[in-house]
Amino acid sequence: MEADIRDEEATDPLEDGTFEADREETNDSEFDLAEEAAKSGFSSPVEFLSAELDRAEAEKQELKDNYLRAHAEMENLRRRTAKDVSDARQYSIAGFAREMLSVADNLRRALEAVPEETRESSDAGLKALIEGVEMTERSMMQALEKYGVKRISPTNERFDPNFHQAMFEVPDESVPNNTVVQVVQDGFVIGDRCLRPAMVGVAKGGLKQPREDANTGDGGTSSQGA
């Protein structure tokens, strides 16, 4: 009977609405907090909790910064990988294309070596041979163009060392200085890279090129695909 009365007293709410057991538990928690604050060198639990809150905020900010940094690094890696894949697709045949240009040069030299009277000959077999070589050259150039290889012939353009190779200078005051006035051999590009520079003669003695022309970066590239 007495035990039942004690149990009822323990479960009856106090004047402030709390229970005796809850108050005892709260007192124990406050004691533990005060003890922890004292061990950490704080004069009061409030200072200890404030410091803990600041530490938690700092950790949260650090985790956020680490996440943002990792996200940015992954995004940069994705962009670099995509560019590498794109470059590999576009420029992987550069070496092969350069070798094929040598073959195309030989075909062109063979055609240019044929005298005009031979071209006008009535010999059907000879005409067929010449037409076959011309067709082979055209087919080769069309195949190379399909994979991004384009011819550049920069006559009357500003000399661009990235795409042109100067073979000689031509005294000419009628055009701006460093203007390409003669193309000895056409150049080729693959994508936006030089595959083989155009061999050119440049004007010397004329007025200097306007500064704004030099800043446009058009030299050599405007003739791509010509």
Query: Amino acid identity of 214?
Result: A
Question: 169-187 burial, b for 16+ CB within 10 Å, e for fewer?
Answer: eeebeebebbbbbebeebb
φ/ψ of residue 64, rounded to 5: -65, -45
- Residue 185 sits in the same domain as residue 159: yes
Q: What is the mean pLDDT of residues 156-162?
A: 93
- 210 pLDDT band (50/70/90 cuts)? low
- Residue 158 sits in the same domain as residue 186: yes
- Residue 136 sits in the same domain as residue 170: no
* pLDDT exceeds 90 at position 213: no
- From the list 223, 218, 98, the residue with the least C-alpha distance to 160 is 218
- Residue 223 domain-assigned? no
- From the list 223, 220, 225, the residue with the least C-alpha distance to 142 is 225
d(C-alpha 54, C-alpha 35), whole Å: 20
Contacts of 42 (CB under 8 A, 6+ apart): 48, 51
What tens digit of pLDDT does each residue of 90-124 get? Answer: 788 888 898 899 899 899 888 888 888 877 777 88
Indicate the pTM of the whole model: 0.56
- Residue 121 sits in the same domain as residue 160: no
* pLDDT exceeds 90 at position 206: no
Can you spell out the DSSP letters for 82-128?
A: HHHHHHHHHHTTHHHHHHHHHHHHHHHHHHHTS-HHHHT---HHHHH
What tens digit of pLDDT does each residue of 130-149 get? Answer: 899 999 999 999 999 988 89
Q: What is the mean pLDDT of residues 77-101?
A: 86
- Residue 177 domain-assigned? yes
Contacts of 152 (CB under 8 A, 6+ apart): 163, 186, 187, 188, 189, 198, 220, 221, 223, 224, 226
- Residue 212 domain-assigned? yes
Least confident of 21-25, 202-206, 220-224: 220-224
- The angle subtended at Cα 215 by Cα 175 and Cα 198, nearest 5°, is 60
d(C-alpha 26, C-alpha 218), whole Å: 79
What does the mean pLDDT of the chain come to?
78
- Residue 178 sits in the same domain as residue 209: yes
**Could you give the number of structural domains in the chain?**
3
Domain that holds residue 203: 150-216
- Residue 79 domain-assigned? no
- Residue 106 domain-assigned? yes
Residue 124: per-residue pLDDT:
82
Residue 67: per-residue pLDDT:
92
- Residue 158 sits in the same domain as residue 127: no
- Residue 181 domain-assigned? yes
- 87 pLDDT band (50/70/90 cuts)? confident
* pLDDT exceeds 60 at position 222: no
- Residue 100 domain-assigned? yes
d(C-alpha 192, C-alpha 149), whole Å: 10
Q: In what order do the strands lie in the sheet with 193-196?
A: 149-152, 187-190, 193-196
- 86 pLDDT band (50/70/90 cuts)? confident
CATH code for the domain in which residue 205 is found? 2.30.22.10
d(C-alpha 226, C-alpha 195), whole Å: 15
* pLDDT exceeds 90 at position 220: no
- 203 pLDDT band (50/70/90 cuts)? very high
- Please answer whether residues 219 and 157 qualify as being in contact, where contact means their C-beta atoms are separated by less than 8 angstroms: yes
- From the list 206, 151, 215, 205, the residue with the least C-alpha distance to 183 is 151
Least confident of 26-40, 107-121, 196-210: 26-40
DSSP-based helix, strand, coil % in the chain, nearest 5: 55, 15, 25
- Residue 157 sits in the same domain as residue 211: yes
- Residue 139 sits in the same domain as residue 165: no
